[in-house]
């Protein structure tokens, strides 16, 4: 069985800081499609977020998301997988539009590359993975959403391509991210109790101070929580986006998963940010879980 080299992952974790250190020419956090422009968001483009994972239960539509962090592991929210047997779960990687369509219209300067990436993934029929093991954080509390984080181990190694890559992890300690912006992407509903999106959507959201977040939400905001969302326009994750990554470019424009979509009050409320599990608090736990071979 193939496993990610822990030494390689540790090196990349240490590398991803807000101090601009030289990066390796290969590895995590690199996108094939860098064109940048969910609730208040826009349709994305093939290859732009190549670590996105779509979660499916047996005989159901896509219901949660995650982020590929190694050739065998997907990071997600505990509430997405805590009550599911591994045999009842499938993961699809390299997806853009779950119905196989391209967004219309495509930007003129991106039309050919986007189509090429979709065609590449359509020809690659090996992007559906069964699940071998689910590891939910041992202190996960469903009622308060505390420690809402989990790792799914795939049944076989991933074949990396232009549309399937892994995202970086942040170091265990990060400086304040308040007032910076990050991206969240997903196939979830485009409004509270609304319809889902077959195409991957993305939105840029500002990160809140935790005290302001607590005042806005009223409870269940911890030091392991990261809050982000539109203060003026409605920009947020919503139902079906749970488990997906909150993403920020760091060293050499490498992208890291600084948060995991956890919960919120409705969706896209300007005065109510979305709540994310703060990934940097769990970096050591993630590394320890990834290196377990059973």
Question: What are the b/e assignments for 152-173, b being 16+ CB within 10 Å?
Answer: bbbeeebeebbbbbbbbbbbbe
Distance CA 153, CA 278 (A): 21
Spell out where the chain has E strands: 42-43, 52-57, 62-68, 73-76, 89-93, 128-136, 150-154, 181-186, 201-206, 225-228, 245-249, 255-263, 274-278
Q: Annotated catalytic residue: which of 73, 113, 137, 148?
A: 148
Please say if 79 is a catalytic residue.
Answer: yes
Q: Annotated catalytic residue: which of 242, 262, 280, 281?
A: 242
Contact criterion met (CB below 8 Å) for 102 and 115: yes
Q: Annotated catalytic residue: which of 73, 79, 145, 147?
A: 79
CA 21 remoteness from chain centre: 24
CA-closest candidate to residue 239, choices 256, 221, 264, 220 = 264
The structure tokens 């302001």 sit at: 212
Alpha helices, DSSP H, located in the chain: 6-15, 78-81, 111-123, 210-217, 283-290
Please say if 148 is a catalytic residue.
Answer: yes
Active site residues: 79, 148, 242
């Amino acid at each position: 069985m193939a496993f990610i080299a822990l030494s390689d992952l540790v090196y990349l974790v240490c590398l991803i800081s807000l101090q601009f250190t030289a990066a390796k020419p290969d590895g995590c956090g690199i996108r094939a499609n860098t064109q940048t422009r969910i609730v208040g968001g826009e349709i994305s483009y093939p290859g732009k977020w190549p670590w996105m994972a779509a979660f499916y239960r047996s005989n159901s539509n896509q219901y949660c998301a995650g982020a590929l962090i190694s050739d065998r592991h997907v990071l997600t929210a505990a509430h997405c997988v805590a009550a599911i047997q591994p045999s009842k779960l499938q993961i699809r990687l390299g997806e853009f539009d779950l119905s196989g369509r391209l967004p219309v219209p495509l930007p003129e300067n991106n039309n050919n590359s986007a189509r090429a990436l979709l065609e590449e993934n359509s020809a690659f029929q090996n992007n559906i993975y069964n699940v071998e093991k689910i590891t939910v954080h041992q202190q996960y509390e469903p009622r308060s959403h505390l420690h809402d984080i989990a790792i799914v181990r795939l049944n076989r190694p991933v074949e990396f391509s232009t549309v399937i890559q892994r995202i970086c992890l942040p170091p265990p300690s990060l400086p304040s991210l308040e007032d910076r912006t990050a991206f969240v992407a997903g196939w979830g509903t485009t409004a509270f109790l609304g319809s889902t999106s077959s195409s991957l959507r993305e939105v840029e959201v500002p990160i809140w101070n935790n005290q302001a977040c607590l005042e806005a939400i009223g409870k269940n905001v911890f030091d392991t929580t990261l809050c982000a969302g539109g203060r003026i326009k409605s920009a947020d994750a919503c139902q079906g986006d749970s488990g997906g990554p909150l993403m920020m470019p760091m060293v050499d424009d490498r992208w890291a998963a600084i948060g995991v979509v956890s919960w919120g009050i409705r969706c896209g409320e300007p005065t109510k940010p979305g709540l994310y599990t703060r990934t940097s608090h769990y970096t050591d736990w993630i590394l320890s879980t990834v290196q377990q071979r059973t």
